């Protein structure tokens, strides 16, 4: 997949047929910020000899890293979910519904890789072999935002793309359905941050590709996954707080819905409150609570499920 941004810039993305082989963008999206970086691990030589200085440098292995921050659009997020360690099931013909299941698997590799194209002040950068090592969904300025921590294999200059911008709308006030526990809607949560951290790491292997080429990572592996939800709620009574003290698990569902055909939602099947901090304000203040939920595998073997409804057929 390919992506582009910059001063008057562009971000576009496309899934790759062969990991690390550049594909021109097929989808573009506006972004709030990006800091994708080419990082070389150069080796400075300091053998024992009559000098106090380094005597040379050997170009080292390279990788791509950085974060893309953007409004969470239902016709964009699915592209990035494909580039995580997920099982994705698609149904429907008019309204395409994607069910994302993070099935426990011995595989350390994401489902797909993408090419990301970034245009900064008219200069085009092509990042290849990119995957999402961490995904965060959160409320920022009343809108649903997603932050994608990207890891990639290498970089190459590419031609300037011509973007076609999406027309889908972000999710904001009036689109929320929060259930704690699931099937019991509540109206006392105003912010949350849902983090899926796959512990990605660039993997290098010995290769005969020439001293100045082929220095990119061989692949990106995923480690042990950590899933966490932090939220702010009104502290209405001690019922939920007592459940926290007792170590009682509960299911949490958060949905952002815009009509019957567009939506982004996730369910934590077995969530444990690992911290529950009520505020201690002045007389008459609203009492608030900052809560952290950690997840464990439920009976199906999953720590969460996600559902995305969109009008776009993403293959």
Q: Where are the domains of the chain?
A: 10-40+59-310
Question: Which of 116-120, 131-135, 280-284, 286-290 has the weakest average pLDDT?
Answer: 280-284
Please, are residues 65 and 54 in contact by the beta-carbon 8 Å criterion?
Answer: no
Token pair in block for residue 67: 């974060």
Q: What Rg do the C-alpha atoms of the chain give, in angstroms?
A: 22
Mean pLDDT of 60-71: 91
What is the structure's pLDDT at 282? Answer: 64
The partner residues of 90 in beta bridges, in order of sequence, read 98
| Residue 3 confidence (pLDDT) above 50 | no
Burial (CB count <10 Å: 0-12, 13-18, 19+), residue 24: middle
What is the structure's pLDDT at 6? Answer: 41
Residues with Cβ within 8 Å of 270's Cβ and at least 6 positions away in sequence, in order, are 249, 251, 295, 296, 297, 298, 303
| Residue 298 confidence (pLDDT) above 80 | no
Mean pLDDT of 87-112: 79
CB 292: neighbour CB atoms within 10 A?
Answer: 17
What DSSP letter does each residue of 247-288 carry, written as one string? T--EEEEEEEESSSS-EEEEEEEEEEEEEEEE----TTPPPE
Total residues found in the chain within this entry: 315
What is the structure's pLDDT at 1? Answer: 45
How far apart, in whole angstroms, are the C-alpha atoms of residue 190 and residue 206? 50
**pLDDT higher at 81 or 42:** 81
Token pair in block for residue 128: 């290849």
How far apart, in whole angstroms, are the C-alpha atoms of residue 119 and residue 99? 32
What is the structure's pLDDT at 153? Answer: 92
What is the structure's pLDDT at 230? Answer: 97
245: alpha, beta or left, given left = phi > 0 and alpha = psi -120 to 50? alpha
Q: What is the pLDDT of residues 191-246, one digit of tens each?
A: 999 999 999 999 988 877 665 557 888 889 998 889 999 999 999 889 999 999 99
Residues with Cβ within 8 Å of 11's Cβ and at least 6 positions away in sequence, in order, are 3, 4, 5, 28, 29, 30, 31, 34, 68, 116, 117, 118, 119
Burial (CB count <10 Å: 0-12, 13-18, 19+), residue 182: middle
> The whole model's pTM is what?
0.89
Q: What is the DSSP letter of 170?
A: P
Token pair in block for residue 129: 């072999």
pLDDT band at 308 (very low <50, low <70, confident <90, very high): very high
| Residue 311 confidence (pLDDT) above 60 | yes
What is the structure's pLDDT at 286? Answer: 84
How far apart, in whole angstroms, are the C-alpha atoms of residue 165 and residue 251? 37
Question: Which of 79-83, 106-110, 127-131, 135-139 has the weakest average pLDDT?
Answer: 106-110
| Residue 31 confidence (pLDDT) above 50 | yes
The partner residues of 137 in beta bridges, in order of sequence, read 146, 194
Mean pLDDT of 167-183: 93
Please, are residues 152 and 127 in contact by the beta-carbon 8 Å criterion?
Answer: yes
Q: What is the DSSP letter of 19?
A: T
How far apart, in whole angstroms, are the C-alpha atoms of residue 62 and residue 148? 20
How far apart, in whole angstroms, are the C-alpha atoms of residue 255 and residue 272? 19
| Residue 78 confidence (pLDDT) above 70 | yes
Token pair in block for residue 243: 């459940």
pLDDT band at 300 (very low <50, low <70, confident <90, very high): low
Mean pLDDT of 59-88: 91
pLDDT band at 284 (very low <50, low <70, confident <90, very high): low
What is the structure's pLDDT at 115? Answer: 95
| Residue 161 confidence (pLDDT) above 60 | yes
Beta-strand pair 56-58/43-45: antiparallel
Mean pLDDT of 252-270: 92
**pLDDT higher at 59 or 288:** 288
What is the structure's pLDDT at 2? Answer: 47
């Amino acid at each position: 997949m390919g992506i582009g941004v910059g001063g008057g810039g562009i971000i576009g993305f496309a899934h790759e047929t062969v990991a690390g082989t550049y594909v021109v963008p097929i989808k573009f999206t506006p972004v709030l910020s990006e800091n994708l970086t080419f990082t070389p691990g150069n080796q400075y030589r300091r053998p024992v000899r009559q000098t106090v200085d380094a005597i040379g440098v050997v170009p080292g292995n390279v990788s791509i890293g950085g974060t893309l921050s953007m409004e969470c659009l239902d016709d964009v997020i699915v592209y990035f979910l494909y580039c995580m360690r997920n099982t994705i099931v698609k149904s429907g013909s008019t309204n395409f519904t994607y069910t994302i299941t993070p099935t426990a698997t011995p595989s350390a590799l994401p489902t797909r890789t993408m090419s990301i194209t970034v245009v900064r002040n008219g200069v085009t950068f092509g990042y290849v072999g990119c995957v999402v090592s961490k995904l965060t969904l959160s409320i920022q300025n009343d809108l649903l935002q997603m932050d994608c921590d990207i890891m990639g294999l290498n970089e190459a200059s590419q031609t300037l793309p011509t973007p076609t911008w999406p027309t889908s709308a972000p999710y904001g006030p009036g689109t929320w359905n929060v259930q704690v526990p699931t099937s019991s809607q509540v109206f006392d949560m105003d912010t949350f941050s849902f983090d899926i951290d796959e512990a990605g790491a660039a993997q290098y292997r010995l290769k005969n590709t020439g001293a100045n080429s082929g220095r990119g990572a061989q692949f990106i592996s995923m480690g042990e996954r950590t899933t966490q939800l932090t939220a702010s709620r009104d502290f209405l009574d001690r019922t939920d707080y007592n459940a926290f003290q007792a170590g009682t698990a509960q299911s949490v569902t958060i949905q952002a819905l815009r009509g019957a055909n567009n939506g982004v939602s996730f369910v934590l099947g077995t969530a444990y409150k690992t911290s529950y901090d009520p505020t201690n304000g002045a007389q008459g203040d609203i009492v608030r609570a900052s809560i952290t939920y950690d997840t464990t595998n439920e009976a199906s073997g999953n720590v969460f499920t996600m559902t995305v409804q969109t009008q776009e057929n993403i293959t």
